[in-house]
Structure formats: C-alpha cells, structure tokens
A and B are shown apart, each in its own frame.
Chain A
Amino acid sequence: MNQEIAGDDGHGRFLLVRAGSLRCALPAFHVVRIVRQLRCHAVPGSRSHLVGLAQYGGDPLPVLDLHVLVQGSLSNTRHHSTVILGRGQERGHSVLGLAVDEVVRVVNLTLGNAADFDTTFVVETVKFEGEEVMVLNTKQLLQEERADSGAKYG
C-alpha cells in the first residue's frame, strides 16, 4: 500500500469531489490547491479528457475532465472548481488540474488491503455515507501526466 496515500491500517485522508453523477475521492496528499474554475484554452487535437490549458502560478496547467477521465464519456458537468494535483518531492514534479463540479470536503476513508495504487486508476470503490465513492489513483495520473509532459514539452 502506498504510504503517501493511506497508512498501514488503510486509513487515509481524501478529498471528496463530484463530477456529474460520480463521487470520487482524491488522495489529499496529491492535492496542491483547490481553486475556482480556471479559464482554459482548448488544445486542438488533444485527447477528449483534456479540457485545455490554464495558467496557474505563471506556468501552463493542463486541466482534465474528471468525469471523462473516469467514465470515458462526456457528461453535463459544470466544472465549478478545479483541483490542482501535484505535491511531488522530486524536482520538476508534474502539476495538473482536475475539473470537477463540486468539491465536497476532506474525509477519512479506510481502503482495503488489496488497494493497488501502482497499476490501476480507480483504486477502489467504497461506501461513504450510503453512497459509492470511487477512490482514484492520482499518483498514476501524475506519472502519466509527467510522462506526457516530458514527451510534449520536454
């Protein structure tokens, strides 16, 4: 189990967000900042889950559509908020934004022992307050983004 995300007992702090009808939990460790919706500039020929490029702290910030990213299809989402992921220890860590409809709050979740934060994007689906919440592997997402950024901008 990844200690950055959850402890040995499976407990961890997650940022609960909503994208369309989906409720997702993002590891709080990877959340850099929560901002209101950023103004994005669309990138022609990009993947469908890429909303566009925003400017954050003087640097370009790729913003992804969480709903498309999870479901693979477009939905009627409002994208009121953008969750900026990052917080890597190494130098030149990647930063990306996730466009969500609502950022609910920071909650404590207990994951199963088999939670795999190395290979799968949706780590686990847990019940929270009677609703299913998909726990997302933001580490893999950041790694993929870093690889893409290296290929694209490096």
Chain B
Amino acid sequence: MVDSQNRGGLEAWLGPVMIVIVVLVGGAFLEATVDGADESWFVRGFLVIGLLTIVGYLLLVHFPTRRKLRDYRTLQLRYDEQCEVLGSSLDDLRHGDLVGARELISGLPEDMSKAVDAASGALAALIQQIQSSSVEVAIAAGTVQRISTELASASSQQAAAVVEITATTEELARTAGQIATNASSQAELAAHSETAGDEGAAALESAVSGVEAVRQHMDAISARADTLGNRSREIYRVLDLITEIAQENHILALNAAIEASSAGEHGERFAVVADEVRRLAERSRESVDSVRSHLDEFVGSIRGVVVATEAGTKAAQQVLEGSKHTREAIAQLRSALADTARAAREISLGTQEQGTASDQVVLTLREVSEVVQRIADGLGQYTDAAERLNQLALSIQLLTQSFRIESEHSLKHQLARWTDRLRNHAGNLEAVGGVLEDLLEECPYLELAYIVDLAGSMISFAANRDLIGDREHPGSAAVGQNYADRPWFQALSRDGRAAVTPIYESLLTGDPCFTIAVAVPDPDGEMVGTLGVDVNLMNWTKI
C-alpha cells in the first residue's frame, strides 16, 4: 500500500517536472542561440509563457489529480476493510456460523449489510425450516416405523389367524358334509317314522273302536248286573219269607211237640210227627241258609262284577280319553315328523350349500392369506424404508446442527449462550459444575456435559442421571481424562469453531448419540477451554 502511494506521488509530480525541465532546457537553448535584444524578449516571453503554463498545469491538473488520488486511497482503504469484514462474514457463513456472520456485517455498507443480513436470515430460516422439517420427518418416520412395525406384526398375526380360519373353515366344511349326510339319514328316518305314525294312528283308531265296543259291553254287563241285583233282592225277600215260614213251622212243630208231650203216651205218635215237622222246618231253614249263602256269594259276585264293570267302564273311558290324547299326540308327532323330515332335507341342502360356500371361503381365505402375507412383507419393507428415512432425517438434523442459527433447536447457539455463563465463572470449578448441572436440567436429552482445557484434559463434567440411571461411568468420563486425540477437540483447537461428530454408540447408555463441542472464550474473546455435550438421539428426536 505504501509503495503504491509513493509510486502514485512520483507519477503525479513527473509531468510538471518534465515540463519544467523542457522549459528550462528550451530557454537555455534559446538563450544560447539568440544574440539580439529582440530575440531575448522572445526568450523571456517563452520563459514567461512556460512558467505560466507550468503554474496553470499545477493549478488545473496537478493539484486536483493529487486530491483525487488521496480520495482514491481512502476509498481503497475502506474497500479493503469492508472486503476483510465481508470475507470474515462469508468465512463464518462457510463454517455455518450464521449468527457470527450477521454480527460482523455492521462494518459493511448499508446495502451490502442488508444484503448479507437478508442472505444470512434467509439461509438461517431455510436451515431452521430444514431442521424443523427434518425433526418432523424423523418423528413421522418414527411413527411410520412404529405403525408399520405394528401393522407388520398385526399382519403376521392376521395371516396366522387367516390360516387358522382356513383350517377351521375346512373343518366346518367337513362337518357340514357330515351334517348333510346325517340330516339326509334323519330325513329318511323321519319319513319312515311318519309312515309308522300313520300305521300307529290307524291301529290306535282300531284300538279306540275296540275299547268303545268294550265300554258298551261293559255298560250292558252293568245293566245286567243291576237286573241281577234286583232279582237277588227279590230272592232275598222270598228267602226271608221262607225263613219266616220255616221258623213258624219250627215253632209250630215245637208247640205240637209240647202238646204231644202234654198228651203223654197218647201224644207220642203226634210228637213223632211234630218232630218230623220240626226237622222239615229245620231242613227248610238250613236249605234257606244254604241258598242264602249261595245267594250271598252270587250277590257278592254280582257286586264284584258291578265293581269290575264300573272299573272296566272307567278304565275304558280313561283309555278312550287317553286314546284321544294319544291320537292328538300322534297327529302332532306326525306333523312334527313331517316338519322334521322337511327341516332335515332343508338342513341337508343347506349344509351342502354351506359346504360349497365353505370351499369358496377356503379358496378366498387362501388368497387373503397370500395377500396378507404380501402386505406383511410390504410392511416389512415399509418399516425398513421408514428406518432409512429416520436415519436420513437424523443425518439432516446433524447437517443442520452444523449451522449456528438463532433458534432453540440450534445446539451450537444454545451452547454458545451457556459459554457466556461459563465465562463469568472462569476458574471456579464448583460454579462451572453448577452451570453444567443447570445445562443438563434445561436440556434433558444431553447425556453428558463437560469442560476440557486447552490441553485436552477434562476439568469438570456432569452426567444426566435420568438417562444413565445407576450405571457406572466409563473410564472416559472422568476428570483428568485427556481428549486431545478426539477429532472434535482437534478441529476446535485448529480453527476455534464449533464441531459436530458423526453418530456413534454411547458408552453410557448404549443409545446412538453425537457430540457437539464449542469454544469457551474469556472476557477478551480468547479461547480458554472447550464445552462438550453428548446428545442422546433417542430422547433428542422425541423432544
């Protein structure tokens, strides 16, 4: 810059100096060649005109030119400064620090500042949108993955259920065939039973007619028995009369015997006659008693006949009533047998149709089983695609996390805020530990937060017990552990910019995680340490 300015000053003075040299050299040559007085005035006029030309040149050309050069130099300096600021801003943009890039543009011209600010803002908005979209894609992919997994599981269960249904339907078809056979046999049996019912009804009608005839005979017998009873009572009356006559004869004979006895020897023959009469009376009485005895038996028999006849009549009546019930029952039975035969035939036809339908159902179920199996396979592929989509969304997340934007989802920006708090507690390890605990409390998706000095040695850390639980800390998570060989530390030490690692498996939880490291500056802006955090992806994506 100094050389160019000096070179510009010489160039500015070179024109007038050469003109002066030319005028002086021309004046001296003219003075040497001119002898007369008139010629001296010519020389003097030449010199005056030359001097005037020089003065005019200085006034009209040289000094404005110098002023322009000075202004140009000033503009050059400002341009250089602005180029440097713009370069720094673009360098921040290149490293993804959109916040830093926007902080530097105050030194740029207004239009340029607005343009850079608008570009940074648009880029930040785009990144934020990409970040939000990637989070939503990750969430949606997780949801799709979970649902597709559930659907795949359900499809597998459905396929198994369809197989069971198929087997059951096949069994149902076989059972339907057996039912059809049994129903056909039952229909035949019902038809035979109906025929037998017809024959039974005819036999019952005949039996009823016979019983009716028996009842009529019973009534006739009863009437005859009543007649015999009346006749018996007349016989009893006759017997009573005969008995009375016999008793009278007996008494008469006894009185005759008494009179004969009173007559002494003269009455002996009469006594013999009286005794014979008495004997006759006694025999008459004995005969009457015998007849009465036989008549008693006869009357008893007649009573037995009457009782038996009444019982027979009653039984015949009961048989007739029972026959009526039986006739109705047989009619109902015949109707029921006809219905049964018809129902059995319908059942047979229905079960045959059911068997055919079951075969069609089995075929359809097999097709459904194949479709369900294909759906399950497709859902498995869908699950894999969702898994890949989830991984892709996480990758996009990591890419967006390589930018620092003014967003609560920008971990670099969040950590930059926490480095401001740490700056105020430089040298106070207890306060630093408290800040790290606060950081974990505010960001529950962080497994571990730690401070590493410039030599790469851990000086303080805090672990998230909600995520780690009671598991032992691995050897790497300990004060004094050196992280100088870690890529993030080396990258941060190299250019002082925040570093993001690829995804790796956490030694603390076994979950996928990644590390973000940012520089911790002192109040003068000099880097005095590194703040690192391990982000648990499982919980981060949930948030």
Contacts and interface: CB of A to CB of B under 8 A. Distances in A.
A33 B261 CA distance: 12
A106 B262 contact: no
Contacts of A34: 251, 254-255, 258
Interface in A18-55: 28-29, 31-36
A103 B251 contact: yes
A41 B53 CA distance: 217
B interface, by DSSP: helix, strand, loop or mixed? Answer: helix
B257 interface: yes
A36 B262 contact: no
Nearest to B244: A36
A13 interface: yes
Contacts of B248: 36
A87 B262 contact: yes
Interface in B244-291: 247-248, 250-251, 254-255, 257-258, 261-262, 271, 274-275, 278
A15 B278 CA distance: 13
Interface residues of B, number: 14
Contact of A29 (B247, B254, B262): B262
Given A36-B247, A106-B275, A28 B262 contact: yes
B258 A31 contact: yes
Given A105-B275, A106-B271, A28 B258 contact: yes
A103 B254 contact: yes
A103 B247 CA distance: 10
Interface in A75-125: 81, 87, 103, 105-106
Nearest to B254: A34
Contacts of A29: 261-262
B431 to A, nearest CB: 141
B251 A105 contact: no
A65 B257 CA distance: 23
Nearest to B257: A106
B359 to A, nearest CB: 101
A106 B247 contact: no
A106 B250 CA distance: 11
A105 B257 contact: yes
Contact of B255 (A13, A33, A87): A33
B428 to A, nearest CB: 145
B251 A106 contact: no
A105 B278 contact: yes
B505 to A, nearest CB: 131
Contact of B261 (A13, A35, A81): A13
A33 B255 CA distance: 6
A118 B128 CA distance: 170
Contacts of A81: 251
A40 to B, nearest CB: 18
A59 B255 CA distance: 20
Interface string B411-437: 000000000000000000000000000
A35 B257 contact: no
**Most B CB atoms within 10 A — which of A15, A33, A34?**
A34
Nearest to B264: A13
Contacts of B257: 28, 105-106
Contact of B251 (A28, A36, A87): A36
Contacts of B262: 28-29, 87
Nearest to B250: A103
A92 B255 CA distance: 22
A109 B191 CA distance: 96
Given A105-B275, A105-B278, A106-B271, A15 B258 contact: yes
Interface of B: 247-248, 250-251, 254-255, 257-258, 261-262, 271, 274-275, 278
Given A105-B275, A106-B254, A106-B257, 16 more contacts: A15-B258, A28-B257, A29-B261, A31-B258, A33-B255, A34-B251, A34-B255, A34-B258, A35-B251, A36-B248, A36-B251, A81-B251, A103-B254, A105-B254, A105-B257, A106-B261
Ranked nearest first, the 6 interchain pairs of A and B with the lowest CB-CB distance are A106-B257, A28-B261, A13-B261, A34-B254, A31-B258, A34-B251
